[in-house]
Amino acid sequence: MKILETLKQPYPCVDLERSNTQNLLYSFFVGVFISVFLIVFEPFGIGRWESDNKVRHLLAFGAITFGVLTFMKFGLMKAFPSYFNEIKWTVGREIVANLLVICLIALGNYIYALSIHLFPWRLDVFFWNFSVVVALGVFPISFNVFLKYNRGLKKFSEPVELGVAKEKKESEILLKAENGKDTLSFKTGELFFLESADNYSKVVFNSDGNFKQELLRGSLASMSNQITEESIVRCHRSYIVNLSKTEKVTGNAQGYKLHLSDSDYIIPVARKYSAIVEGLK
């Protein structure tokens, strides 16, 4: 029962935390590693395999791994955004996603092995190879996910005592949209956060005691470049937050959560930005 509850717990989706370039490089290096491993160590009876094109074929297995990882990150994850949702990502979903990758790699390798006549096409041979790959993968994958979950939970669930906020002189912030015409201005103390909204940035601020939301066309990066206030920082790929509005900090295995004062807003802090919480203590 405890394991079932753990499977439902929040878990960081690392693929969503990385940029597209980082995901592509990760897939490439994993594919290279697989090829080099097979060529150097020749496991699974590869050493007994006689072929003039052995190295080329082993490189192809690495290429299949690269292709599957790329398809997963740029195909399935883009096609099913509601499932691959960073906020909804759990321990169970992480294990299932990793097993799906293993299954697709096993299927791709088997199809390629058939094409070069390495295996005969028989249903029992296919299921045997497939089940061996899955059986070998499920335990180390599950162990690794649970280990990372416990580490993240221990790191981010510890209570954070906030320091006393210092009075700062109010300054004006002027944000410009990509077209250079649409603008939005407010005082630093009025801003709560900015959130990425497709090709726009949603600005949430409090004016005259009322919360307002305005959309400006432009990325969070372009908005961040227009803000010089030290307390207003990038905390997530989808958020810029005014740290001076933080009332409480909580956390789980995904990372810290900033609870903003006088509101119900809870802003996630990506693990790579976790150091900003130190500045609140």
Q: Do 27 and 122 share a domain, yes or no?
A: yes
Q: What is the pLDDT of residue 167?
A: 54
Q: What is the pLDDT of residue 147?
A: 92
Interval 67-114: pLDDT, tens: 999 999 999 999 999 999 888 999 999 999 999 999 999 899 889 988
Q: Do 15 and 151 share a domain, yes or no?
A: yes
User: Is residue 67 situated within a structural domain?
Assistant: yes
Q: Do 148 and 176 share a domain, yes or no?
A: no
Residue partners of 176: CB distance under 8 A and separation at least 6: 182, 183, 216, 218, 226
Q: Work out the pLDDT band at 130, boundaries 50, 70, 90.
A: confident
User: Is residue 143 situated within a structural domain?
Assistant: yes
Q: Do 198 and 147 share a domain, yes or no?
A: no
Q: Do 106 and 16 share a domain, yes or no?
A: yes
Q: Do 180 and 274 share a domain, yes or no?
A: yes
Q: Which residue has the higher pLDDT, 208 or 248?
A: 248
User: Is residue 162 situated within a structural domain?
Assistant: no
List helix spans (H) across 204-246.
220-224
Q: Do 83 and 116 share a domain, yes or no?
A: yes
Residue partners of 72: CB distance under 8 A and separation at least 6: 15, 97, 100, 101, 104
Beta-strand (E) ranges in the chain? 172-176, 183-187, 191-197, 200-207, 210-217, 232-236, 239-242, 246-252, 255-260, 266-269
Q: Work out the pLDDT band at 280, boundaries 50, 70, 90.
A: confident
Number of folded domains in the chain? 2
Q: Do 119 and 150 share a domain, yes or no?
A: yes
Q: Do 107 and 74 share a domain, yes or no?
A: yes
User: Is residue 160 situated within a structural domain?
Assistant: no
CATH number, domain of 239, equals 2.40.50.1020
Q: Do 143 and 176 share a domain, yes or no?
A: no
User: Is residue 227 situated within a structural domain?
Assistant: yes
- Neighbour count for residue 102 (Cβ, 10 Å): 18
| Residue 94: strand, helix, or coil | helix
Q: Work out the pLDDT band at 45, boundaries 50, 70, 90.
A: confident
Question: Residue 31: which domain range?
Answer: 2-155
Q: Do 177 and 276 share a domain, yes or no?
A: yes
Q: Do 26 and 127 share a domain, yes or no?
A: yes
Does the CA dihedral 119-123-125-126 come out positive or negative? positive
